[in-house]
Amino acid sequence: MAEGSRPRRQRKVRTRRAQSRTRGGGVHWLGSKWREACLFVGEWLSLTVAACAGALWVFGKVFPWLWSLRPPWLRFTASIVGAFLAAVVVVASWSLLRVRLSKAHRWLPVGVACLLAVGAWSFIRSESAFQGYEQLKRQLSEREEGERARIAHQVYAAYRRAKLEDLALLLRRAQPYLPAIEEAAARFNLPAELLVGIGATESSFLPRTSRDGGRGLFQITAPPEAARRVAERTLGTRSLDLENARHNAFLAAATLQYYWQQQNGDLFLALLAYNIGPTNGGLLHIMQRYGAKDFLTIQPYLQALPADYPIRVLTAALAYRLWLRYGELLRYELGDNARKIQELGIPGLDL
């Protein structure tokens, strides 16, 4: 029996040791792997923040330096490449540095990476970085601001040439319709001056049915079906009566909002689209056909269509804003009226 019992004791001891290795060692191994994973994720997240900050900083510095480079796409591409190379340099340098850091201590790489991330974040929030980003923002928006300035100049010039007596007559005619127009503008989050400008340009506030099919105050012909549905839902009716000034104003506001969103916030293109309507497939079709991107590049392709329509609308809108502010229409060339008018701004362009 002694000979038979010895193997059993050895098996029991071996089993206990195996259990000890499996339980204790397994838990230790699992905890170690989780720690390593957390260290790895923390390290590379911190490094990503630092690399992105470096890339953004380089982009903000390089882009203004290359402003004279032509064509514009080459300037933008060169700046992107510079930012990408900056991120690559950060990552490559870190790969070399972390070998030495990890030899010193296993926690050292993630600690240094976190310090880099904190430093990068602090720099991004600093005044020097803010100035660089503001400069970049100005450079990127220079063309858009230039277009706005040219448009504003055309509107001010049109207002200066206009017969203020005729504009004043239009605004007096508008009085009975202003409650409906202001209500529609508020419901569709539009400047009421813009709707007044459209009404003045379309019908001179003499609602009628025109030869081209335009009806009512805003001379609506064939509005987008989506805009019609929105107007009906907003008014709580199943059918719009375009002879009703309130219905007409709501449909005009819904149509302008529809085209404004379609043109990605470009007011001039939205006004052109409103005026063109579904003719030749609408403005969006014309732009896609010729590859036009903005009001300046679409003008040569408008042919017989009235390219000055937005200027006339904005001129009437400006007149209404002046009427509201001063109770009269200021003569542009007298005294400091030019300064007052420009400080007041043009409806829709000051959003």
Tell whether 79 and 132 lie within a shared domain: yes
What pLDDT, on the 0 to 100 scale, is given for residue 27? 46
Residues in the chain, total: 351
> Does pLDDT of 5 surpass 60?
no
Among 115, 140, 165, the domain-final residue is 140
Tell whether 156 and 129 lie within a shared domain: no
Tell whether 209 and 294 lie within a shared domain: yes
Give 47 or 157, the one with higher predicted confidence. 157
Tell whether 204 and 62 lie within a shared domain: no
- Kindly report the CATH number assigned to the domain that includes residue 268: 1.10.530.10
Tell whether 284 and 208 lie within a shared domain: yes
pTM above 0.85, yes or no: no
Residues 133-146: tens digit of each pLDDT: 555 555 555 555 66
> Dmax of the chain from CA atoms?
128
Alpha-helical segments (H) within the chain: 2-20, 26-65, 72-104, 108-124, 127-140, 142-161, 164-174, 178-187, 192-203, 225-235, 245-262, 267-276, 282-290, 295-298, 309-326, 337-344
Q: Is residue 182, in this structure, part of any structural domain at all? A: yes
Cα distances from 295 to residues 116, 177, 201, 267, 300, in angstroms, run 46, 31, 19, 9, 10
> Does pLDDT of 116 surpass 90?
no
Q: Is residue 156, in this structure, part of any structural domain at all? A: yes
Residues β-bridged to residue 215: 209, 220
Q: Is residue 350, in this structure, part of any structural domain at all? A: no
Tell whether 332 and 231 lie within a shared domain: yes
What are the two backbone dihedrals, phi and then psi, of residue 215, each rounded to the nearest 5 degrees? Answer: -130, 135
Instruction: Count the Cβ atoms, other than its own, within 10 Å of residue 346.
Output: 24
Among 112, 140, 168, the domain-final residue is 140
Tell whether 113 and 153 lie within a shared domain: no
Among 140, 161, 177, the domain-final residue is 140
What pLDDT, on the 0 to 100 scale, is given for residue 31? 57
Q: Kindly write down the DSSP assignment for every residue of 274-315, as one continuous string.
A: HHHTTGGGHHHHHHHHHT--SHHHHGGG-TTS-TTHHHHHHH
Q: What's the whole-number average pLDDT of the chain?
A: 77
> Does pLDDT of 194 surpass 60?
yes
Residues 61-106: tens digit of each pLDDT: 666 666 555 555 566 677 677 777 877 887 788 778 877 877 777 7
Residue with tokens 């203020």: 164
Tell whether 214 and 335 lie within a shared domain: yes
Asked whether the beta carbons of 59 and 136 are under 8 A apart, the reply is yes
Burial, 36: exposed, middle or buried (Cβ in 10 Å; 0-12, 13-18, 19+)?
exposed
Tell whether 44 and 184 lie within a shared domain: no
Q: Is residue 349, in this structure, part of any structural domain at all? A: no
Tell whether 132 and 149 lie within a shared domain: no
* Number of structural domains the chain divides into: 2
Q: Place 22 in a pLDDT band, splitting at 50, 70 and 90.
A: very low
Amino acid at 150: R
> Does pLDDT of 51 surpass 70?
yes
Tell whether 133 and 77 lie within a shared domain: yes
Tell whether 213 and 329 lie within a shared domain: yes
Asked whether the beta carbons of 196 and 316 are under 8 A apart, the reply is yes
What pLDDT, on the 0 to 100 scale, is given for residue 294? 59
Q: Is residue 351, in this structure, part of any structural domain at all? A: no
Asked whether the beta carbons of 86 and 56 are under 8 A apart, the reply is no
Q: Look up the domain containing 81 and give its range.
A: 2-140
